[in-house]
Amino acid sequence: MLNVLFLTKMPEKGTLYFKNLPDTNVLFDSPDNLSADQLASVEAVLGNPSGELVTKLPNLKWIQLNSAGANTYSWLPEHILLTNASGAYGPAISEYMITYAFAGLKNLMKYHDLQKEESWTDLGKVPMFDRCTVVSLGMGDIGSNFLKRAKALGAYTVGVRRTAHDKPEYADELVTYSELEDILPRADILGMSLPETAETTGIMNRNRLSEMKKDSVLINVGRGSAIVTEDLENLVREGMFRAVFLDVTDPEPLPEGHPLWKEDRVYITPHITGKFNSETTFENIVDIFLTNLRHYRNHEPLEHVVNRTLGY
């Protein structure tokens, strides 16, 4: 019997997928409510366990994260297999990015503010999406889905990734980080979906942010650490960017009183894209876990195994 501990909060119907799995006993209770013997019987975990919990699971062999990012698990012992949920979030997060790309281009957030002031003000001309250059900094599942949608809507699309790769049909250009300085001045919309690594932390500093068009739209859904927050604040105050949309921040959660909350043209959501707010995301994670569970039981290689060096 394979004992699996569930740490992932999911819709009530989600537990039904796991209650009648053959030769599998799923523990849905909080770890705090489980005995030492029950914890010792756990071989697999679905969710993102703390280091403290892992020390209480002496027979743990496999963790299936419910997140795509895995950089916070560099401490995990090598004998524990680590897989992530890469592929689960792309559709939902890319729709968020497309939504805010249009909101930024069309001044919709500004019009919403004007409505509160009861001001019938025309803000003038706005760009057409199909005449924009859309750049995706990060070409994993999220960034790729973003470019696919941008391309389908007529934009000129550029993907930026860590290493060279064959260009997909939905990208008009595909370049590496080393060419970022050449691409940024052309971007009307920059969507960021980077994991947190030594290479990506602070990748968008003042020098790179200031290379962008003054009226460009910036969207970050990856990790807040990819942008140097103070540099972004200063540039916005200097009149940079048509709009900035942040679903992730540094620090995160963004504390009360932080200047970013009230910066003009900066719009913040509380990391909502990485949750189960979209039922599709939940269904994708279920599929990933059930597929990997089947591989695990059959002693086959698992999918989405995390590269401990890269952190994803």
In DSSP terms, which residues pair with 175 in a beta bridge? 160
pLDDT at residue 9 is higher than 80: no
Domains in the chain, CATH or no CATH each: 2-88+278-297 (3.40.50.720), 90-268 (3.40.50.720)
Kindly give the residue spans of alpha helices, DSSP state H, lying in the chain: 36-40, 51-55, 90-105, 108-116, 141-152, 180-183, 206-209, 229-237, 279-297
Q: For residue range 134-156, what is the model confidence (pLDDT) as tens digits?
A: 999 999 999 999 999 999 999 99
* Beta strands in 187-227, from DSSP E residues, in sequence order: 189-192, 217-220
CB of 287 within 8 A of CB of 279?
A: no
* Beta strands in the chain, from DSSP E residues, in sequence order: 2-6, 24-27, 44-46, 62-64, 81-83, 133-137, 156-161, 173-176, 189-192, 217-220, 243-246, 266-268
Residue 223 identity (one-letter amino acid): R
Mean pLDDT of 183-202: 96
Q: For residue range 38-59, what is the model confidence (pLDDT) as tens digits?
A: 999 999 999 999 999 999 999 9
Tokens standing for residue 122? 């025309």
CB of 306 within 8 A of CB of 286?
A: no
At residue 14, the pLDDT reads: 67
CB of 17 within 8 A of CB of 290?
A: yes
pLDDT at residue 129 is higher than 90: yes
**Residue listed under structure tokens 């039922």:** 279
At residue 52, the pLDDT reads: 95
Mean pLDDT of 263-287: 90
- Alpha-carbon distance of 289 to 212, in angstroms, equals 40
Distances (CA, A) of 301 to 62, 115, 293, 294, 304: 12, 56, 11, 10, 10
- Alpha-carbon distance of 115 to 284, in angstroms, equals 38
At residue 15, the pLDDT reads: 73
pTM, entire model: 0.92
pLDDT at residue 13 is higher than 80: no
Cis peptide before 49 (omega within 30 of 0): no
